Structure 1
Amino acid sequence: MESIGPDTIDVWSWKLDTPPPDLGMSAALLSLDECIRTIRFVRDRDRQRFVAARTGMRIILGRYLGISPRSIGFDYGDNGKPSVQAYGAYPIHFNLSHSADLAVLAVSDRYELGIDIEEIRFLKEDIAKWFFSLREYQTLRSLPADSYMDGFYRCWTRKEAFIKAHGAGLSLPLDSFDVTFDRSSESRLERLEGDAGAPANWAVLELETPINFAGAVVASTGGRRVCLRYRDEDIGQLVNLASRM
C-alpha cells in the first residue's frame, strides 16, 4: 500500500484518446456495471474516453490500496459521490474529473476532496449570472474584458470542485457559497451559508493545467495547509502492466 500523508494531495493526469489496442486492454479491467454504462454512449469517442478515464482511475487506486484494479468495488452516496468499498482500515479519498481528452484524479489518505478540470471554450451566453453567487458575479463583471474568460473558468472549476468535495451534489445551491478567483486574492472559500466556520476548514488549490484548461482541487483539511504533488507516471504503461495481472 502506498501512503500520502497529511500535508499532500496527489494529482494524476492522463490523456483519454488512447489507441484501440490499448482501449481493449483497458476495458478488460472494468466492472460489469461500468461495461454496461459504455453501451449507453452514442458516440464512439465518448465511449473510449469513459473507458480510458475509469481504467486509469482503477489502476491508480489499486496502487494505493495494494490490490488488483479489477477487484476494486465502488459505493455511491445519496448524491452520487463515489467511494471505494472498505478494504481493512486503510482510508482512501479520491475524485475524478475529465474534460475533452484530459483526465485528472486527486487522491488523499486523509481528506475528503473534489477536483474539477474544464477545457476553456468560448461562452455563448452570460451563464455566470445563473450559476455564480451575487458576490462572485459582481467580481467577475469587474474584471477587465481580457481577463473575463480566465476569471470565469477559475471560479467555475473551484465551485465544481467544492460541490464534489462537500458531497451534497446538486442539492447544494450554487449561490450558497463564495470562492475567490481573481488573481490578486489567495485561493479560498469565503462563505458557506449556514456554516460560519467553513472558510477555515476548507483548502482551495489551483490546479496546474495545459494552457487551454483550468482546474482546481478543494479539500476539507480542517485548516491544515496542504500542497499538490503531481504524479507523472505513464498511465499507458500501467494499463499494459495491469492487463497482465
Structure 2
Amino acid sequence: MDEDEVEVWVVAGPGPAEAELFAVLDAEERERAAAYRSAVDRRRFVLAHGALRHIVAARLGAPAGELRFRRGPHGKPELAGRWQGAQLNLSHSAEVAMVALSAARPVGVDVQQVLPRLDAEAMARRYFPPQEAGHVGAAPDALTRAERFARLWARKEALTKAHGGRLAQALRVPVPDGPPPPDLPARDAWSRGYRLTDVPAPPGYRAAVALSGDAAFTVAQHHWTGPPSPAPALDPEPQP
C-alpha cells in the first residue's frame, strides 16, 4: 500500500454467520458484544469488528484472531505488538460499517445514516459553525437537510478520529471542500494538519475519510463480503 493511499472497505449486508466472526474477537470485544441487549445491535457490532480483523489480517498476512489493539488517549484503537505501524479506523452506522487502512499516516473514517426525521436544522445550529448551520437550514426539504447534516457530521467525525481527539474539537471546525479556511482560531489550528474527502457510501448514508499530513491522497474502495474461503483439501493420491 502506498503511503498516500487509503483503502476503504464497505461492510454492508448480512455478512458471514455471527459465530464465525465472533470466534476471531478478543476477550474485550466479546465482552462488549455480550453487553448489547438487542440482538440486532450485537450482530452489527460483531460484523463490524470481525470484518475489521479479517480485512486488516489479510492486508498484513496475519491471523485475524491474533491481532492485538491498544487504545489512544481518547479511545481510538491502534494496532499493537508486532503489527504496530499500519494505521486503521472503523466506523459503523445502522447496517453499514467502513474500515479504513493506511500504511503509515493516521487515518479516520466515518459513515452516517441519513435520518430524514431528525431535526437537522436544529442540530446544525447547536453544533456547527453559523455558515454550515445556514447551509443545512437552507435546504428545500427535510431529506436534503438530513443529507447535508449527515455529510458534514461524517466529515467532522473522520477528522476527529484521524486526530485521535474528542468530537467537540471538530464540531466547531468548518469542513469545507478544499483546505481549511484561512481565519481559523488558534485553538483549531490543529485541523490544518489533515486532508479530508468524501467517499461513496450505500444509498441513505454519507461517509468521509481524513488523513494526517499535507500531501494529497487517493482512496481505493472495496466491498467486503466475508473472509476468504479456505482452500479445499486435496484428495490423497491413490496408492498403487
Q: Say whether the fold is shared (TM-score over 0.5).
A: yes
Give distance in 2, aligned partners of 1:141 and 1:44: 36
Aligned ranges 1:34-183 → 2 under 5 Å: 34-87=29-82, 91-125=85-119, 126-145=122-141, 147-170=144-167, 172=169, 174-175=171-172, 177-180=173-176
Which one of the candidate residues 179, 193, 197 is aligned to 1:205?
A: 197
* 8 A contact 2:155–2:196 mirrored in 1: yes
Q: Please report how far the alpha carbon of residue 228 of structure 1 lies from its aligned counterpart in structure 2 after TM superposition.
A: 0.6
* 8 A contact 2:87–2:101 mirrored in 1: yes
Deviations 1:146-196 (A, max 9, x none): 742332121111011111111112452622x1111xxxxx34433654268
Give distance in 2, aligned partners of 1:124 and 1:78: 31
> Which runs of 5 or more structure 2 residues have no equivalent in the other structure?
232-240
Deviations 1:64-100 (A, max 9, x none): 2221111111100121011000316x62111101111
Q: Secondary structure at the match of 1:219?
A: strand
Give distance in 1, aligned partners of 2:179 and 2:146: 20
* 8 A contact 1:189–1:204 mirrored in 2: no
Give distance in 1, aligned partners of 2:129 and 2:135: 10
Structure label with greater radius of gyration = 2
CA RMSD of aligned residues (A): 2.4
Paired residue type of 1:205: T
Tell me the residue number matched to 1:189: 180
Tell me the residue number matched to 2:207: 215
Which one of the candidate residues 3, 10, 20 is aligned to 1:13?
A: 10
Tell me the residue number matched to 2:235: none
Tell me the residue number matched to 1:26: 21
Give distance in 2, aligned partners of 1:91 and 1:192: 31
Give distance in 2, aligned partners of 1:14 and 1:80: 22
Give distance in 1, aligned partners of 2:187 and 2:174: 12
Paired residue type of 2:33: T
Paired residue type of 1:223: D
Q: Please report how far the alpha carbon of residue 205 of structure 1 lies from its aligned counterpart in structure 2 after TM superposition.
A: 0.9
Q: Secondary structure at the match of 2:7?
A: strand
Q: Secondary structure at the match of 2:45?
A: helix
TM-score, with structure 1 as normaliser: 0.83
Question: Aligned pair count?
Answer: 227
> Which runs of 5 or more structure 1 residues have no equivalent in the other structure?
181-185
- Does 2:216 align with 1:225? yes
Please say which of residues 128-137 and 75-84 is displaced more in the overlay.
128-137
* 8 A contact 2:157–2:167 mirrored in 1: no
TM-score, with structure 2 as normaliser: 0.85
